[in-house]
Chains A and B, each alone.
Chain A
Amino acid sequence: MKQLLEGSQAVAEAVRLCRPQVVAAYPITPQTHIIERLAKHVANGELEAEFINAESEFGAASIVLGAVAAGARVFTATASQGLLLMTEVLFNIAGLRLPVVMVCANRAVGAPINIFSDHQDSMTLRDAGWIQLYVESNQEAADSIIQAYRIAEACELPVMVCIDGFLLTHTFEPVVLPSQVEVDSYLPAFQFARSLDPARPMTLGGGSEPDNYQEYRVAQHDAMEKSQAVVEAFDADFEVQFGRACGGLVQGYRLEEAQTVLLGMGSLMGAVYDVVDRLRDQGQAVGTLRLRCFRPFPVQALVQHLSSVQRIIVLEKAISIGAGGIVATELRAALQQAGIMTPVESVIGGLGGRDLTPEVIEEIFKETASSGIDVINRFAPNHIINGEAHHG
């Protein structure tokens, strides 16, 4: 049954349906509504879990690390500064191959302090060994959380579900929530083979030396590569069970005979779809490709969809200071390795919550080298109404 739900509410309900046993969190805008709802559920006996108010995000990440190591299904959520404060622990969780599921309510990183949405926070953690899924709607947020637990527990890799702060977390839109029975059928109970247990004592987090460290990383990297197939398979299973899918690794829109394709992630895609429709109505052969799974980076899927396109634009909401677009750079490398020499235009926009409106996106499609700008590496234009810039 479809309901109009705030994104945070959809997330909290999805988490509840997955039956976490330990929830630990520290409040940070714009994740707060998620953890507040979970606190309320626990207080009312609607979720049988330990709800732990951590003393900081570093604490929250450490608490869920300990809890999952002791065999409990866990949940935490954070954003921005909080995610960065967790960094050491997030690398640790991944290295220990612990199946933690976390929501990152994507928010810009300070300084300067900014509470609005961009992808700088999760992008900064791209090397940590977490699977990263970027959702475009509240529906997909709920569905991806349910999938995330199954993926994490099957692959023994932690999963970060990235949900745009405010744009999704604080927006009411239609969502279908599955029933408990349906989720139980899709997501089995958590059984962790390496949990801390006197019955079969194991040492977690021991030392390593040059003669063996690389093998850990190789194994981790290998597991991440293999998880691509798992992400796709579990999305396909989800579609069979629930009647809707989340887009697997990448999801195309109007790619048939597209000569120009714009690649993007997250909630900005909605406006891109509207612009693609508008341009197609005008006879332009444009399409768009949504990158749902950023880690592992789905090279094969991307190459497959972009191999015969003449113009590729990447629109992303993060920047590697001193290097430029992150997704664009990785895509360029992947395409070049596959022998595809189509130039990739890197467009960085939406930083700090600046609105990527349909007008701005249409402008991005229109901008070419003849406009006198460096199309290969640029920032998105501003949204102008009557000569005045509107940033949202």
Chain B
Amino acid sequence: MDKRDPFRHNVLTSGHRACSGCGEAMAARMVTDLIGPDAIYVNATGCLQVFTTHNQQSAWQAPWIHSVFANAAAVASGVEAALRVRGKETPVVVQAGDGGTFDIGLQCLSGMIERGHDVLFVCYDNEAYMNTGVQRSSSTPHAVRTTTSPPGRLSQGKHHLKKDVISIIAAHHMPYAATATVAYFSDLKAKVEKAMTIKGPRFLQVLSPCPLGWEHDSALTVTISRLAVETGLFPLVELEHGELTGAMRLTQQQPVEDYLRLQGRFRHLFGTKEGAVEIRHLQALADARIRRYGLLEADAEWNTERVPQVKRHGHGGYAAAPEESNNDL
């Protein structure tokens, strides 16, 4: 009999050392409370790992393992395989930052997906290597200042575009890949719960603003998260077996500048000719993403065809089991 009180027992408990306003801590608390303590969590090296397990202390009230930076998805594959062999149903969840997903972690992640492991991989995307002091990752949007993509006489910040990882993941034609962010809790909740009903490799990219690295007021984490979506820079979508099956429609599009102005990492773009060009680039990117996913089309007919999904037994977490409305096929 599980004595843990679902209203008081957090998987990620208090006393960890995240910065004030940390979007990743917020996202991790949401995600792990939705999944619950009856899961095995595999964490990549990064902010979440560091601030929750500093020096012989741990904020985790669930089984949790950290190995090295690159291999969380591979370690999770091993955990999952062992559980299968041992006849156990415990869900396996990976938590990684953008570094451990987009860059150093990509090889193992692709392998895990290609082999079809029944693992949910959650990427908390704060768009740089924050734990080591804000160096750029391939998730860093272009024109952003980081310590390894500094603006200077010859540079406007990061040269290259933010890697479209959700498309890379979806191109594996894997059961479920979705984007989410902290400002839209209901959406995140629905996606976590949906992911937990599906068997096979699943992926969530949760945009997690970082007050330190994005240089914004720590009280604005949710505001900035919302603006990322409302500008179209970070579309909230779902892709199943490579097909787009859901997208959060925008009631209106906010100008990208409103988002950029709140963050010091874009400060160098304001007031120069070159900077203005990059702001226009970013706006164009946002416009392109809105067009691509049809985010403003009120009448868009979504592909609501039921995509066949293999169901998991159980769902984990305290949330009520979602309606058995899918998988009529």
Contacts of B66 in A (CB 8 A): 113
CA distance A53 to B150 in the complex (A): 12
Q: Give Cα A81 to B68, complex, Å.
A: 8
Q: Which of A13-37 contact B (CB under 8 A)?
A: 25-29, 32, 35-36
Measured CB to CB, the closest approach of chain A to B106, in angstroms, equals 7
Tally of A-B residue pairs with Cβ under 8 A? 66
What is the distance, in angstroms, from A84's C-beta to the closest C-beta of chain B?
Answer: 9
For the complex formed, measure the closest distance between the CB of B78 and the CB atoms of chain A, giving whole angstroms: 16
B111 within 8 A of A: no
Are A32 and B147 neighbours in the complex by a CB distance under 8 Å? Answer: yes
A43 at the interface (CB under 8 A from B): yes
For B133, what are the chain A residues with a Cβ–Cβ distance below 8 Å?
A: 27, 29, 32, 36
Task: Report if A39-B149 is in contact (Cβ < 8 Å); known contacts: A29-B132, A44-B154.
Answer: yes
Q: How distant is A78 from chain B, measured CB to nearest CB, in Å? A: 12
Contact yes or no, A56 B104, CB < 8 A: yes
Q: Are B148 and A27 in contact (CB under 8 A)?
A: yes
Residue count of chain B within 8 Å CB distance of chain A? 24
> For the complex, is B135 an interface residue (Cβ under 8 Å from A)?
yes
Query: Nearest chain-B residue to A84 (Cβ)?
Result: B68
| Cα-based distance from A53 to B104 in the complex (angstroms) | 12
In the bound complex, what is the Cα–Cα distance between A122 and B72 (angstroms)? 25
Asked whether A32 and B106 contact (CB < 8 A) given A27-B148, A39-B147, A45-B152, the answer is: no
Please state if A43 and B103 are interface contacts (CB–CB under 8 Å): no
Flag if B154 contacts A35 (CB, 8 Å).
no
Residues of the A chain whose Cβ atoms lie less than 8 Å from the Cβ of B150: 36, 39-40, 43
Question: Are A113 and B152 CB-contacts (below 8 A) given A26-B104, A55-B104, A85-B70?
Answer: no
Residues on the B chain within 8 Å of A25, using CB: 148
Contact of A55 among B67, B103, B155 (CB under 8 A): B103
Closest to A25 in B: B148
Say yes or no: is A110 at the interface (Cβ < 8 Å to chain B): yes
Q: Does B45 contact A (CB under 8 A)?
A: yes
Interface status of B129 (Cβ within 8 A of chain A): yes
Residues of B within 8 A of A36 (CB): 133, 135, 147-148, 150
Q: Mark A100-115, 1 if CB is under 8 A from B, else 0.
A: 0000000000110100
Residues of chain A within 8 A of B155, CB atoms compared: 42-43
Query: Are A27's CB and B104's CB within 8 A?
Result: no
Contacts known (A81-B68, A85-B70, A113-B66); A27 close to B132, Cβ less than 8 A: yes
Complex formed: what's the CA distance from A51 to B154 in Å?
Answer: 12
B147 to chain A, nearest CB (A): 4
Cβ–Cβ contact B68 & A55, under 8 A: no
B283 to chain A, nearest CB (A): 24
Contact across chains for B138 and A55 when beta carbons are under 8 A apart: yes
Q: How far is the CA of A29 from the CA of B131 in the complex (A)?
A: 9
Query: Are A27 and B153 CB-contacts (below 8 A) given A55-B106, A113-B45?
Result: no
Q: Does B148 contact A35, Cβ atoms closer than 8 Å?
A: yes
Interface magnitude class on chain A: 20 to 34
Contacts of A266-310 to chain B: CB distance below 8 A: none
Complex interface residues of chain B between 143 and 164 (CB less than 8 A to chain A): 147-155
CB distance from A224 to the nearest CB of B (A): 30
Decide: A43 and B151 in contact? CB cutoff 8 A. Answer: yes
Q: Say yes or no: A40-B152 contact (C-beta < 8 A), given A32-B135, A53-B136.
A: yes
Q: Quick one: which of A125-175 are within 8 Å of B by CB?
A: none
A27 and B135 contacting across the interface, CB-CB below 8 Å: yes
* A27 B152 Cβ-Cβ under 8 A: no
Give the complex CA separation of A56 and B103 in angstroms.
7
- C-alpha spacing A26/B133, complex, angstroms: 12
Q: Which residue of B lies closest to A30 (CB)?
A: B132
Q: Does chain A have a CB within 8 A of B51?
A: no
B152 near A56 with CB under 8 A, answer no
Q: Which residues of A contact B104 (CB under 8 A)?
A: 26, 55-56
CA distance A2 to B106 in the complex (A): 45
Q: In chain B, what residue has the closest Cβ to A111? A: B67
B69 at the A/B interface (Cβ < 8 Å)?
yes
Q: Which residues of A contact B151 (CB under 8 A)?
A: 43
Over the window 264-288 of chain B, the binary record of Cβ atoms lying under 8 Å from chain A Cβ atoms (1 yes, 0 no) is: 0000000000000000000000000
Q: Kindly provide the distance from the CB of A11 to the nearest chain B CB, expressed in whole angstroms.
A: 16
Q: Chain A residues with Cβ under 8 A from B103's Cβ?
A: 55-56
Name the contact of B153 in the complex, choosing from A45, A51, A55, A113 (C-beta under 8 A): A45
Contacts of A39 in B (CB 8 A): 147-150
The interface residues of chain B lying within 8 Å CB-to-CB of A56 are: 69-70, 103-104
Chain B contacts for A29, CB-based, 8 A: 132-133
Q: Which residue of A lies closest to B152 (CB)?
A: A43
For A42, what are the chain B residues with a Cβ–Cβ distance below 8 Å? 152, 154-155
B228 to nearest A CB, angstroms?
A: 23
Asked if A110 contacts B148 (CB within 8 A), the reply is: no
From residue B36, how far is it (CB to closest CB) to chain A in Å? Answer: 26
- A117 to chain B minimum Cβ distance, whole angstroms, is 16
17 A–B pairs (Cβ distance < 8 Å), ordered by A: A27-B135, A27-B148, A28-B132, A29-B132, A32-B135, A32-B147, A36-B147, A36-B148, A39-B149, A40-B150, A42-B155, A44-B153, A53-B148, A56-B70, A85-B69, A85-B70, A113-B45
Binding site for A on B (CB under 8 A): 45, 66-70, 103-104, 106, 129, 132-133, 135-136, 138, 147-155
Query: Can you add 7 more A-B contacts, CB < 8 Å, to A81-B68, A111-B67?
Result: A25-B148, A29-B132, A36-B133, A40-B150, A44-B153, A45-B153, A55-B104
